Chains A and B, each alone.
Chain A
Amino acid sequence: MDYFAQQLINGLVLGSIYGLIAIGYTMVYGIVGMINFAHGDIFMIGGFIALISFLLLVSLGLTAIPLILLLVLLVAMAVTALYGWTVERIAYRPLRHSFRLAPMLSAIGMSFVLTNYSQVAQGARVKPVPPIITGGYTLHEGPEGFAVQLSNMQIMVVLVTIVLLAMFTWLVSRTRLGRDMRACEQDQTMAALLGVDVDRTISMTFVIGAALASVAGMMYLLYYGQVDFFMGFVAGIKAFTAAVLGGIGSLPGAVLGGLAIGLIETFWSAYFSVEYKDVAAFSILIIVLIFMPTGLLGRPEVEKV
């Protein structure tokens, strides 16, 4: 039971990270109607930016950990958001009215560019960071000495996810930009006719998605204590799986799907085999799409003729 509780905590933390990435997929899919293949790499870039800005701030003489983390968060979000904007500008905007395969291939090309760019820029080796947030609580001490731990790091990851999610929900439901985004999701031509700047709205969607992915990258860096240039690919597919599982286009669905994938992956590694955890996650994608093509919270797709 204790072991189960510990895995539950670990799974929820991992799921929060996936959920943050999944929001980017869901938003872009909702508006542009296609998978942003480079999104996983944006997450990876976010991790790198967080790592480098952290090193810089520490060497500048800052010692207050909360201040450093806040600054790192802001820098990572800002710079990674610009990456998201650039990706949209180069690989998507020129192809917006092109036939379906073209933007998808240019996105795959962009994903290769980002992966290999960070390999060239930062080397292929895994970059470790020492644990920054230490300490935690022991929730329950079992008779055999197995204790259920909840670290401060895990609390922070979940808290940051909740705060960002709340901010983001507010943004989509209450602001002008959010209204524009929902309008574009319904019908881009109509939205444009009614005075919505479609180009700007789509750009902002990429920017916000990238900013959230960069937070996920930073959390990943702090939680696992390392980044490498190739981590975006698998994390990207899993986050996409989460988005599909939750029902693509639905924001709460993305988080729910993220948590589900995090839990499934953690429990699979704990009770079955670590080697096949990715196989389990990808198999779920296929199974979900067979039996629930619209996911947990998705709306049925209307067939456009």
Chain B
Amino acid sequence: MTALSTETTHAGRTAGIPFILKKAFLSACVALVLFSLMIGIRTEAGSDGQLTWWTRFGDLASIVGLVFGGSIVIELLRQWLGPIGAEKLVPAPVQRSLSLAGRFLGPALLVFTLLVPVIFYNQRYILDLGILVLTYVMLGWGLNVVVGLAGLLDLGYVAFYAVGAYSYALLATNFGWSFWVCLPLAGMLAAIWGVMLGFPVLRLRGDYLAIVTLAFGEIIRLVILNWQDLTGGPNGISDIPRPTMFGIPLDNSDDGLAAKLGIDYSPTHRIVFLFYLILALALLTNWVTIRLRRLPIGRAWEALREDEVACRALGINTTTTKLTAFATGAMFGGFAGAFFATRQGFISPESFTFQESALVLAIVVLGGMGSQLGVALAALTMIGGFELFRSLETYRMLVFGMAMVLIMIWRPRGIIGHRAPTVYLTKAQAISSDLVKEGHG
């Protein structure tokens, strides 16, 4: 936490060693006060309900020392590199070639994804991870419709994921309906909830919208948690039926797929099937989004994102525009939820917390709002990165939070780039969107 060093030094000012030392010393002082009580002293509830505490001055000293050293290093780096800017870190020719490569990256990535189950057939872990990443790719693409295209900040997206998951789980366990019947139903129910959320928030924008969607997500989670008779409350729903390949179960029974094809049964068959299932669902999301973007409704979404007042002045019905964005995004969230339920076989409210919403939102924004490839790459990086820290369970969210802050400071418009409106009145200017900031353009 080099609090003091985030301030940009003015260009052209040469700061000497005393300046750097003073800055580092101040940072260390701030760190000392910040961490003195929280790190220096550890409390714990004892067995008889009494609080015990002990000191950890060693840890405190090392953290303060780290801040001091880190501040010096950052300041030196800053003087050496000059003011940090995205243009400087990624030189223009590299950026150009990257965007050229981007045209081939998408198809290449798709081909690789299609081949993953073939290459890693015997590595269950990689297949599971692939399914997880693809689930988040799908969620990211779904939320991208709401946030990236229509510019409506939704912090409760996980609610639709939950609605989809619980719809499938309840329909399948209570009525025994198959996955293929429940999937569209789950999507439809989630879309209905999206419209229901859409109505009250039609008049809101910006931060109000964010907090209302956050509250909505919490309401859904709390109702699921407390409606014990229907949802099982905190115990969740277990024994959710596995999906069948259009009626053919993927198990070890006589009418299973393995028996029908006359090959040996292996549990990997089901994993591979799930992999292709979520890939298909994700690609469906992508395809629908790209198609919609070319239709009047998609263009209305982008107009809404760019300027709501101008959008209304042009005669676009913002009510239907917002509602369709919410409904479309929610529907894909519902599909993903139904898939999640069938993959896990067990769901509980714990899977649908605000952290999940924030993770999906972070994927969309870090990937670059509106950019399909960006979202996919961000999902791969974030979920993969998350996996790397799996052994450090408690530090994982800490690192995740820090990464979110740092990336936002470094590239507020997303790492990979964002999508400009599809249609322009005039020819698009060839300047980076990062240079045109709100209120300064």
Contacts and interface: CB of A to CB of B under 8 A. Distances in A.
To the question of whether A and B form a pair in one complex, the answer is: yes
Contact of A303 (B34, B36, B214, B309): B309
A289 B439 contact: no
A148 interface: no
Given A122-B43, A276-B226, A90 B397 contact: no
A44 B70 CA distance: 27
Interface residues of A, number: 78
A67 interface: no
Given A55-B53, A97-B440, A101-B369, A113 B218 contact: no
Nearest to A94: B409
Contact of A110 (B218, B354, B405): B405
Interface stretch (A45-53, A175-183, A190-198): A45-53
A101 B1 contact: no
B437 interface: yes
A121 B39 contact: yes
Nearest to B412: A102
B42 interface: yes
Instruction: Tell me the interface secondary structure of chain A in the complex.
Output: helix
A203 to B, nearest CB: 11
A279 interface: yes
B404 A105 contact: yes
A285 B402 contact: no
Nearest to A199: B7
Interface stretch (B203-211, B249-257, B375-383): B203-211
A86 B3 contact: yes
B219 interface: yes
A35 B207 contact: yes
B102 interface: no
B111 interface: no
Contact of B49 (A79, A97, A104, A128): A128
Given A89-B6, A111-B401, A127-B45, A286 B212 contact: yes
Interface stretch (B72-80, B138-146, B357-365): B357-365
B44 interface: yes
Contacts of A124: 394
Contacts of A278: 218, 222
Interface of A: 29, 34-35, 45, 48-49, 51-53, 55-56, 59, 75, 78-79, 82-83, 85-86, 89-91, 93-95, 97-106, 108-130, 233, 237, 240-241, 244, 273, 275-276, 278-279, 282-283, 285-287, 289-290, 293, 303, 305
